[in-house]
């Protein structure tokens, strides 16, 4: 695979060391890793994310903008970050990095300092909300990984599923909620 997502890390031991080593080896060889923060972190954090953690604190909701879209996500905790080798893609209301990308071998590590997946899983209609902006984070990760959609629809209220019929034919089903 060219893209791996490690969602909502909640503890420092969220993944066995061996599994993390295997994943990071894939990233070193050119894959993209998107990871989101929900209280836990990758170790060694600075080497992987390219950011130094200055500590964890209670946090208010994250309000930011990325690729022209506003993003609002409630969060219990946030890391105070200082970029070392990472590029800052977005900052929070205090000007602190909340979305970064770091070179890791031949690959990239994207770090989002908010519980994106918990927000999606627990918020009614968030996936179809036209102004949620959350899709920009995933779209950026897919773009970095070289993943292109076969069918594109810019209406956030339309879901698309692809159903392969054969090696050369696929049916696209559009559903408007």
User: For residue 169, what pLDDT band results from cuts at 50, 70 and 90?
Assistant: confident
Mean pLDDT for 24-53 is 92
| Least trusted range by pLDDT, from 5-9, 64-68, 148-152, 160-164 | 148-152
pTM more than 0.85? no
Other Cβ atoms within 10 Å of 42 Cβ, number: 22
- Pairing type for strands 32-37 and 107-112 reads parallel
| Phi, psi values for residue 23, rounded to 5° | -60, -45
Distances from the Cα of 175 to the Cαs of 64, 71, 121, 126, 154, in angstroms? 30, 25, 20, 16, 13
Q: What is the reported pLDDT for 90?
A: 97
User: For residue 82, what pLDDT band results from cuts at 50, 70 and 90?
Assistant: very high
User: CA-based Rg of the chain, rounded to a whole angstrom?
Assistant: 17
User: For residue 127, what pLDDT band results from cuts at 50, 70 and 90?
Assistant: low
The CA-CA-CA angle for residues 83, 99, 78, to 5°, reads 85
The conformational region for residue 30 under phi > 0 = left, psi -120 to 50 = alpha, else beta, is left
The larger pLDDT score, comparing residue 88 to residue 134, is at 88
Both tokens of residue 22?
Answer: 């295997």
Mean pLDDT for 30-43 is 89
């Amino acid at each position: 695979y060219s893209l791996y997502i490690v969602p909502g890390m909640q503890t420092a031991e969220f993944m066995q060391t061996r599994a993390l080593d295997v994943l990071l080896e894939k990233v070193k060889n050119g894959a993209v890793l998107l990871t989101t923060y929900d209280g836990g972190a990758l170790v060694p954090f600075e080497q992987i994310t390219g950011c130094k953690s200055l500590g964890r604190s209670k946090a208010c909701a994250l309000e930011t903008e990325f690729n022209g879209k506003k993003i609002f996500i409630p969060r219990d905790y946030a890391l105070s970050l200082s970029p070392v080798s990472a590029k800052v893609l977005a900052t929070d209301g205090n000007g602190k990095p909340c979305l970064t990308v770091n070179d890791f071998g031949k690959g990239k590590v994207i770090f989002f300092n908010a519980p994106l997946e918990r927000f999606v899983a627990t918020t009614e209609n968030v996936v179809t909300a036209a102004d949620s902006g959350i899709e920009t984070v995933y779209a950026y990760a897919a773009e970095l990984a070289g993943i292109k959609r076969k069918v594109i629809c810019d209406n956030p209220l339309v879901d698309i599923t692809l159903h392969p019929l054969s090696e050369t034919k696929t049916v696209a089903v559009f559903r408007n909620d």
